[in-house]
Amino acid sequence: MGLLTISPSPHDHSSESVPKLMYGVIIALLPAFLASVYFFGISTVIITVTAMVSCVIFEFLIQRYLMKEKPAISNGSAMVTGMLLAFCLPTNLPIWLVILGSFVAISVGKMSFGGLGNNPFNPALVGRVFLFISFPVQLTSWPEPGVNHFAYLDASTGATPLSIMKEGLKNRESISHILLDIPFYQDMFMGNMGGSAGEIAAAALLIGFAYLLIRKIITWHIPVSILLTVTIFTGIMWLIGPTSNPNPLFHLLSGGLMLGAIFMATDYVTSPMNIKGMWIYGVGIGIITVVIRIFGAYPEGVQFAILIMNAVTPIINKYVKPRRFGEEVSNG
Amino acid sequence: MSPIVLYTIISLSATGIAAAIILFIIAQRFKVIEDPITDLVEEALPGANCGGCGYAGCRNFAEACVKSDKLTKLFCPPGGNETMLEVATILGKEAVEKDPLVAVVRCSGSFAHRARVNQYDGAASCAIASSLYAGDTGCQYGCLSHGDCVRVCEFDAIHMNPETGLPEVVDEKCTACNACVEACPKDIIELRKKNKRDRKIFVSCINQDKGGIAKKSCSVACIGCGKCEKVCPHDAITIENFLAYIDPVKCKLCRKCVPECPTDAILEINFPPKKQKEEETKPDNNGETKVEPVETDKLGEESKSE
Amino acid sequence: MFKTFRPGGIHPSENKLTAGSTIEELPVPEQVSIPLNQHIGAAPKVLVERGDQVKVGQLIARGEGFISANIHSSVSGKVLKIAAVVDMSGYKRNAISIKVDGDEWVEEIDRSPELITEIALERQEIVQKINQSGIVGMGGATFPSHVKLSLPRGMKVKYLIVNGAECEPYLTSDHILMMEKADQILVGATIIMKALDVEKAFIGIENNKPDAIDHMSDRAQHYPGIEIQGLRVKYPQGGEKQLIKALINREVPSGGLPIDVGAVVFNVGTLFATYQAIQKNKPLFERVVTSTGKNLEKPGNFMVRIGTPISALIEACGGLPENTGKIISGGTMMGKALNSLEVPVIKGTSGLLVLPEAESRRKEMQHCIRCSKCITVCPMGLEPYLLMAFGERELFERMEEEKATDCMECGSCNYICPANRHLLDYIRLGKVEINKIRRLRKN
């Protein structure tokens, strides 16, 4: 028998660990990945693997040689960042851009703040927004779904429902007319539409959401508050002007809303820590998203909305506190 | 020049001027009138914001110096007498001289001297460990080796020796700011009078157990035998709760007590080497004197043998 | 319908290995060391001297001041010394060591097994008797019971809440007591109800002990005003405030006491001791201790004399396993790691747990990923991640603002943290420092 160990209580620990949570997120992303492979073929695999591998390599190099600490790449957080980054890129994006995006995501978005746990912004979104602003042309030409499964760069390009809608409304076409160019709702739900790699299939993303909830990796509050806000806000707009505004269902199924609400906004590090705060954050993202989509210059606003609310998160954490036990006593 | 460039220059300049005016007005409006002498006093201080004076920072201390009539109760330990003299001349007040002090670690229970009987596994903090239990060894007074003292030192003057598991003070850097003394949950660190050439003699133990128990848990514990007390010509040594204490003010550094100690609990540091010591020990040589060189060397040897 | 508390809570592995084993009388050891600091409050004054002969149940130290408790000898024999021994605190503190010689009990103690349900004493006499018998909260907090019964003027108690939840993993001492001494516990509850002048008592039992719920409900029919309530398993249901929330849906205000919502909480073990004190004239000098561990040969529940070294308990379970890494007084969640086998059993020792080396070390700490699981599980609605950050930076005043003192150290945050952070360590440190700051403020 060795020496007796002395440590403060508790003397038991749950089986929870950071790698387990991270790999859980990756598993939850797999349905969306498979759906994307189904519609875009080999190109999805190329950009996803590229992004994941380069994120891991960049994180390793930065931790090893710049920060001079023990690399913690095995915790899987870099892989999640890579996967999420790839999921919000068009699948026909050149590899060097994917690598550049990964570099910005890891170096600027994450490691410059001190690594996992310290970054104020979602790293994948930092990478994505960097690419989007620097290379708008490449980032806004999406491949047509289900056309050629073995084409990568030379795939024929199309548009997303959101950009079709924005373009149409700009040209003062009527909603019913624009909708003719847009896939049916059931197609949108299943993912048969133009868009970034992982954002197209709402059904697959919802399966991932269910998995996250069952594994208790996230709580339902942030995704539900975002989706609910978008539904209500766009619903009001739709009721006010049904001819100039698409209905809420269109907004829910199009663009990166599902991906953003379920996987991006719920990033542990950059989202508020308690339930009240999560509601504020979710409602904020919902409102900003709709404002950008309806009134802004860009057809899509989820990533900007999330980044803006990321910036607000520290303030929410500071001023919105969980209800303390025995605080407002209503005993009677 | 194209008009766009011109407009840009004009509008930017206008904005800049407007901002400057607003800033100027605000700066005037909300100006805090302060005695400029406070700045002078603050400049004279070391600027470490260590808190050794009892104030939150150097600025607060400077303000206190300016406000108070006498400087009797105010002292900047890192700056010492020199700084206080400077402050006094700036303010035209009288400075109070204090003996310079230095932090001393009163535990020699290195890994080699104190057998471990438990192992701690929790947050690396002496404060937390000490609230949990007495320590990894049989001695409940000794150093816990988690380095709270090292973390609080603003002057890089105390370091943990990984071989002994004990903190070591760098005398030249120590400013006697008292931070480590307060941080130590076991009250092991003491501020003692700084002597010439950083010489010091002290009982490096605070174990208040009875001799047998103390000796069992640590081979260099003070067992309270009283031999040192008897030999001291200056009445500087007192024994209380089976523990000897050398009064730093009364002690004349005669070194008579050092060879008397049966457990080598009394340390002499920064004294000239063996030669003089041998002469000193010869008179009362009982034929079996195992003369130890300066304590610091000894510690090194024993830890090597571990 | 099973009730439970909100918010927070966790579900650690229960490991109730000894749920089925009956209470076994542990042989009286050769020597006992009875610590003086067995309860919250002032140390009692020693009444015996070295060399004195004492009997079982004899008063050997008298409580000093209001919050203190009497201590009785648990054995008969000769007082060896009054000296410092290592106790639960991990420090050496004063204890009375007695060399055992025979087993002679004080005559007044009624050692017959029959049940006495008639309560002869009046309210004041009950409180006095409980005080004399040295009864303290036996769930682990060791708060002197007579203090709880001496209500401040104007305070009215509505409910007696009895804690039979035993939410702590591994421990089964309360469970087995409810199975074997149900009537005694119920009489004890009736006594306390009389002392507090309340009509209603709830006994909360978690539903991982269906046999105890059935048995107690069956017996409780004979005792008016006592209701058995099953509780959905969730740690820390046995916490005073959580139990009140679960049973009568009231929240004890921050910094307040159960009495503020008209409740007084007693543990079933304490009620059994109360029964023995009032009806059998037997002061508190022995208790049921669960001695358990996956690697122990025969874990079990034992009736142990106070002051018995834990080594005797481990011996009775078949000796210390080769791979022992940690010995805990209590359960895995709130138990205290012991640094010696000679630590004596005290009034608050509900269990002894031997963990193998593989389970005794913490996992490596990582950066906080802000997953907010600690907030979700905190039963007091605190933010452990934030408190730890303040604790590390020694911002104790900020910790106070964030209600660190509400923390009851249940350890749920530490348990759930995926980054294995030492959350509770720093919160505990903060609580100590905040109390220091508060004392300074008062002066």
Q: Are residues C130 and C266 in the same domain?
A: yes
Of all residues in chain B, the one with the smallest CA distance to C336 is B132
Of A3, A7, A8, the CB nearest to B116: A3
Chain A residues near any Cβ of chain C (below 8 Å): 1-2, 4-14, 16-18, 20-21, 72, 75, 77, 115-118, 219, 268-269, 271-274, 321-327, 329, 331
Is C85 domain-assigned? no
Is C50 domain-assigned? no
Nearest alpha-carbon partner for B226 in B260, B178, B185, B188: B260
Query: How many domains does the structure of chain A reveal?
Result: 1
pLDDT at B303: 39
The confidence band for B299, taking pLDDT boundaries of 50, 70 and 90, is very low
Contact C98, C31 (CB under 8 A): yes
pLDDT tens digits along C295-326: 999 999 999 999 999 999 999 999 999 889 99
Residues on chain A touching B118 (C-beta within 8 angstroms): 3-6
pLDDT tens digits along A100-131: 999 999 999 999 998 888 999 999 999 999 99
pLDDT at B255: 86
Chain A residues near any Cβ of chain B (below 8 Å): 2-8
Top pLDDT among A2 and A81 is at A81
Is C147 domain-assigned? yes
Q: What is the CATH number of domain B101-305?
A: 3.30.70.20
Alpha carbons C83 and C35: distance in angstroms, whole number: 9
pLDDT tens digits along C177-193: 999 999 999 999 999 99
Examine residue C7 and say whether the peptide bond preceding it is cis (omega within 30 degrees of 0).
Answer: yes
The confidence band for C424, taking pLDDT boundaries of 50, 70 and 90, is very high
Nearest alpha-carbon partner for C117 in C199, C174, C186: C186
Residues on chain C touching A9 (C-beta within 8 angstroms): 330, 332-337, 409, 411, 414, 424
The CA angle C220-C225-C227, to the nearest 5 degrees, is 50
The token duo for C83 is 């000296």
Please list, in sequence order, all residues whose beta carbon lies within 8 angstroms of the beta carbon of residue A126, skipping any fewer than 6 positions away: A104, A105, A108, A109, A307
- Please report, rounded to a whole number, the percentage of residues in chain C having pLDDT higher than 90: 75
ipTM of the complex: 0.89
- Please report, rounded to a whole number, the percentage of residues in chain A having pLDDT higher than 70: 97
Q: Quote the crossing angle between the two packed helices B58-67 and B80-91, to the nearest 10°.
A: 50
Give me the mean pLDDT over the B68-97 stretch. Answer: 82
Provide the 3-class DSSP secondary structure of residue C216: helix
Please list, in sequence order, all residues whose beta carbon lies within 8 angstroms of the beta carbon of residue B53, skipping any fewer than 6 positions away: B61, B74, B75, B76, B77
State how far the alpha carbon of C187 is from the alpha carbons of A41, C115, C123, C190, C213, in Å: 75, 9, 15, 5, 17
Work out the minimum CA distance from C423 to partner chain B, whole angstroms.
9
Q: Quote the crossing angle between the two packed helices C173-180 and C268-280, to the nearest 10°.
A: 50
Alpha carbons B130 and B128: distance in angstroms, whole number: 5
The token duo for A315 is 């303030």
Please list, in sequence order, all residues whose beta carbon lies within 8 angstroms of the beta carbon of residue C161, skipping any fewer than 6 positions away: C201, C202, C204, C243, C244, C247, C248, C258, C263, C264, C265, C266
Least confident of A23-27, A323-327, B183-187, C142-146: A323-327
Work out the minimum CA distance from B258 to partner chain A, whole angstroms.
35
Alpha carbons A288 and A304: distance in angstroms, whole number: 8
pLDDT tens digits along C277-288: 999 999 999 999
Contact C339, C299 (CB under 8 A): no
Contact C142, C39 (CB under 8 A): yes
Please list, in sequence order, all residues whose beta carbon lies within 8 angstroms of the beta carbon of residue B50, skipping any fewer than 6 positions away: B77, B78, B154, B155, B175, B177, B179
Work out the minimum CA distance from B87 to partner chain A, whole angstroms.
42
Top pLDDT among B3 and A313 is at A313
Is A308 domain-assigned? no
Residues on chain A touching C361 (C-beta within 8 angstroms): 5, 7
**Token pair 């919250």 in the structure block, residue:** C40
The confidence band for B87, taking pLDDT boundaries of 50, 70 and 90, is confident
Nearest alpha-carbon partner for B201 in B239, B260, B257: B257
Contact C345, C290 (CB under 8 A): no
Alpha carbons A85 and C306: distance in angstroms, whole number: 63
Strand partners, B193: B101
Which of C265, C280, C295 is a domain's end point? C280
The token duo for B15 is 């904005």
Give me the mean pLDDT over the B29-58 stretch. Answer: 82
All chains having 3 or more CB pairs closer than 8 angstroms to chain A = B, C
Give me the mean pLDDT over the C134-142 stretch. Answer: 87
The confidence band for C99, taking pLDDT boundaries of 50, 70 and 90, is very high
**Token pair 């003010």 in the structure block, residue:** B249
Domain-wise residue ranges, chain B: 8-98, 101-305
Give me the mean pLDDT over the C91-118 stretch. Answer: 90
Side chain identity at C245, as an amino acid letter? Answer: K
Taking an 8 Å cut-off on Cβ atoms, the answer to whether A326 and C367 are in contact is no
Alpha carbons B157 and B172: distance in angstroms, whole number: 8
- Please report, rounded to a whole number, the percentage of residues in chain A having pLDDT higher than 90: 60
Provide the 3-class DSSP secondary structure of residue B54: coil
pLDDT at B305: 38
Nearest alpha-carbon partner for C2 in C265, C250, C237: C237
Least confident of A120-129, A178-187, A231-240, A309-318: A178-187
pLDDT at B67: 83
The confidence band for A327, taking pLDDT boundaries of 50, 70 and 90, is confident
The confidence band for C145, taking pLDDT boundaries of 50, 70 and 90, is very high
Q: Are residues C276 and C380 in the same domain?
A: no
- Note down the domain range covering C203: 123-280
Of A10, A274, A321, the CB nearest to C372: A274
Write phi, then psi, for C280 (nearest 5 degrees).
Answer: -115, 0
Top pLDDT among B137 and A50 is at A50
pLDDT at B279: 45
Of A9, A269, A325, the CB nearest to C335: A9
What does the mean pLDDT of chain A come to?
89
Is A58 domain-assigned? yes
Is C206 domain-assigned? yes
Work out the minimum CA distance from A1 to partner chain B, whole angstroms.
12
Q: Is B141 exposed, middle or buried (0-12, 13-18, 19+ CB in 10 A)?
A: buried
pLDDT at B5: 87
Is C256 domain-assigned? yes
pLDDT at B289: 41
Is A46 domain-assigned? yes
Of C91, C339, C422, the CB nearest to B123: C422
Residue A158 has pLDDT above 80, yes or no: no
Provide the 3-class DSSP secondary structure of residue A181: coil
Q: Are residues C127 and C241 in the same domain?
A: yes
Query: How many domains does the structure of chain C reveal?
Result: 2
Q: Are residues C138 and C255 in the same domain?
A: yes
The token duo for B221 is 């514990």
Residue C273 has pLDDT above 90, yes or no: yes
pLDDT tens digits along C368-392: 999 999 999 999 999 999 999 999 9
Nearest alpha-carbon partner for C208 in C14, C415, C6, C3: C14
Of all residues in chain B, the one with the smallest CA distance to A4 is B118
Contact A202, A212 (CB under 8 A): no
Alpha carbons C243 and A331: distance in angstroms, whole number: 15
Residue B290 has pLDDT above 60, yes or no: no
Residue A135 has pLDDT above 80, yes or no: yes
Q: Are residues C392 and C264 in the same domain?
A: no
State how far the alpha carbon of A208 is from the alpha carbons of A15, A229, B192, in Å: 21, 21, 66
Taking an 8 Å cut-off on Cβ atoms, the answer to whether C333 and A9 are in contact is yes
Taking an 8 Å cut-off on Cβ atoms, the answer to whether B132 and A6 are in contact is yes
Residue A51 has pLDDT above 50, yes or no: yes
Strand ordering across the sheet containing C45-46:
C45-46, C59-62, C71-72
Residue B34 has pLDDT above 50, yes or no: yes
Alpha carbons C208 and A330: distance in angstroms, whole number: 31
The confidence band for A328, taking pLDDT boundaries of 50, 70 and 90, is low
Nearest alpha-carbon partner for A12 in C327, C238, C361, C173: C361
DSSP assigned state of C44: P
Provide the 3-class DSSP secondary structure of residue C441: helix
pLDDT at B88: 85
All chains having 3 or more CB pairs closer than 8 angstroms to chain B = A, C
Beta-strand relationship, B158-161 and C336-337: unpaired
What does the mean pLDDT of chain C come to?
92
Work out the minimum CA distance from A70 to partner chain B, whole angstroms.
19
Work out the minimum CA distance from A63 to partner chain B, whole angstroms.
24
Taking an 8 Å cut-off on Cβ atoms, the answer to whether B134 and C339 are in contact is yes
Q: Select from A4, A16, A279, A323 the residue whose CB has the most chain C CBs within 10 Å, as the one to mutate to test that interface.
A: A4
pLDDT tens digits along C393-413: 889 999 999 999 999 999 999
Which of C250, C265, C280 is a domain's end point? C280
Span between the terminal Cα atoms of chain C, in Å: 51
pLDDT at C30: 93
Alpha carbons C329 and C315: distance in angstroms, whole number: 16
Alpha carbons C439 and C435: distance in angstroms, whole number: 6
Of all residues in chain A, the one with the smallest CA distance to C250 is A331
Alpha carbons C343 and A111: distance in angstroms, whole number: 49
CA quadruple B204, B206, B207, B208: dihedral positive or negative? positive
Alpha carbons A256 and A260: distance in angstroms, whole number: 6
Residue C289 has pLDDT above 60, yes or no: yes
Of B117, B122, B133, the CB nearest to A3: B117
Q: Are residues C378 and C273 in the same domain?
A: no
Helices (H) and strands (E) in chain A, counts: 15, 3
Residue A155 has pLDDT above 80, yes or no: no
Residue C421 has pLDDT above 60, yes or no: yes
Is A148 domain-assigned? no
Strand partners, B103: B191
Alpha carbons A7 and C325: distance in angstroms, whole number: 11
Least confident of B71-75, B200-204, B222-226, C409-413: B71-75
Q: Where are the alpha helices (DSSP H) in C181-220?
A: 182-196, 210-220
State how far the alpha carbon of A77 is from the alpha carbons of A101, A111, A311, B238, C242, in Å: 16, 12, 20, 61, 36
How many CB pairs below 8 A link A and B?
29
Query: What CA dihedral angle connects C51, C56, C57 and C60, to 10 degrees?
Result: 10
Look at the pTM and tell me if it is higher than 0.80: yes
Residue A210 has pLDDT above 90, yes or no: yes
Nearest alpha-carbon partner for C131 in C277, C264, C271, C287: C277
Q: Which of A243-247, B137-141, C82-86, C168-172 has the highest mean pLDDT?
A: C168-172
Contact B76, B88 (CB under 8 A): no
**Given CB atoms, is B150 within the 8 Å cutoff of chain C?**
no
Which of C234, C257, C280 is a domain's end point? C280
